[in-house]
C-alpha cells in the first residue's frame, strides 16, 4: 500500500511526538550525585574559576585522541559557569574546542554541578577533592564512567596524584581505565604553529 505525503505525516507524527517527549524528559531529569561522591560543602567557585590542565581522565567519545587538554571556567552574570574545553586531536592533527555551561547541582556552596555542551542535556560534574590552594582537583562524573584529575599546571606531584588515585580507587573506580594526558611543552609550541 502506497502512502501519500499527508498519510505518511499522520503515521509518523505519534512516533515523533513520543520521541520528542522522551528526549525532553531525559533533558529535564535531575542529575544524580552518586552516593560515593563526597561533595564538598564550602566550595569557592570563584577560586575554582580560571584555567586547568587535564592530568588524567577516563576516555570517552568526545575526548578520544586528545592531548594538551585544558578546561577554562568563568562565572556568568546569571550564576552559571562558562566552560571552554580545548585539546589537540592527534589523529586529525588539529585543535578542537567545546564550549558549554555548568550550573550548581546541590545546595549553595557545594561542589556539585551539572554541565552541558549539548543544549538542554546535562551530566554530573562533582569536585570531590581539591587542595587547599585550589591548584589540584579530582572530579567524579554522575557515574563511574567519568573521572578527571586536573591541575593549574601541566604537572602534578606524585604525592597529590597518589592521594587522588586512592580516593578514586576507594570509590570503586577502575584505575586501569585512566588515560594520562600528554602536555609536552615543545610539542605544544610546534602544534600552535600549524
* pLDDT per residue rounded down to tens, the chain (194 residues): 454 555 555 555 555 444 444 444 444 456 889 999 999 999 999 999 999 999 999 998 878 999 999 999 999 999 899 999 999 999 999 999 999 999 999 899 999 999 999 878 899 999 999 999 999 999 999 999 999 999 999 999 999 999 999 999 999 999 999 999 999 856 555 556 55
How many of the other CB atoms lie within 10 Å of CB of 59? 14
Q: Provide the pLDDT for residue 23.
A: 41
Is 44 in contact with 56 (CB distance < 8 Å)? no
List all residues 6 or more positions away from 87 whose beta carbon is below 8 Å from its beta carbon: 54, 63, 66, 67, 68, 69, 70, 95, 96
Burial of 88 per CB tally in 10 Å (0-12, 13-18, 19+): buried
Which CATH entry fits the domain spanning 45-192: 3.60.21.10, 3.10.450.50, 2.40.128.20, 3.40.50.1970? Answer: 2.40.128.20
Give the per-residue pLDDT at 30. Answer: 67
- The CA distance from 82 to 55, in Å, is 21
The ranges assigned to domains in the chain are 1-30, 45-192
Q: What is the pLDDT of residue 45?
A: 95
pLDDT of residue 3: 47
Q: Distance from first CA to last CA of the chain, Å, rounded?
A: 57
What cell numbers appear for 56 in the block?
A: 588524567
The torsion angles phi and psi of 75, rounded to 5 degrees, stand at -80, 135
Per-residue pLDDT at 184: 83
Amino acid at each position: 500500500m502506497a502512502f501519500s505525503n499527508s498519510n505518511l505525516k499522520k503515521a509518523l507524527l505519534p512516533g515523533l511526538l513520543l520521541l520528542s517527549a522522551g528526549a525532553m524528559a531525559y533533558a529535564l531529569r535531575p542529575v544524580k550525585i552518586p552516593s560515593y561522591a563526597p561533595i564538598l560543602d564550602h566550595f569557592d567557585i570563584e577560586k575554582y574559576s580560571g584555567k586547568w590542565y587535564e592530568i588524567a581522565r577516563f576516555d570517552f567519545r568526545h575526548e578520544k585522541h586528545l592531548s594538551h587538554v585544558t578546561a577554562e571556567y568563568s562565572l556568568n552574570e546569571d550564576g552559571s559557569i562558562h566552560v571552554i574545553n580545548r585539546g589537540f586531536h592527534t589523529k586529525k592533527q588539529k585543535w578542537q574546542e567545546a564550549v558549554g555551561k555548568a550550573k550548581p547541582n546541590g545546595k549553595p556552596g557545594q561542589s556539585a554541578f551539572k554541565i552541558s555542551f549539548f543544549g538542554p542535556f546535562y551530566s554530573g560534574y562533582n569536585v570531590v577533592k581539591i587542595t587547599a590552594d585550589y591548584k589540584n582537583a579530582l572530579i567524579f562524573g554522575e557515574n563511574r564512567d567519568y573521572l578527571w584529575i586536573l591541575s593549574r599546571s601541566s604537572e602534578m606531584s606524585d604525592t597529590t596524584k597518589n592521594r587522588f588515585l586512592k580516593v578514586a580507587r576507594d570509590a570503586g573506580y577502575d584505575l586501569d581505565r585512566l588515560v594520562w594526558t600528554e602536555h609536552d611543552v615543545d610539542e605544544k609550541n610546534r602544534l600552535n604553529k600549524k
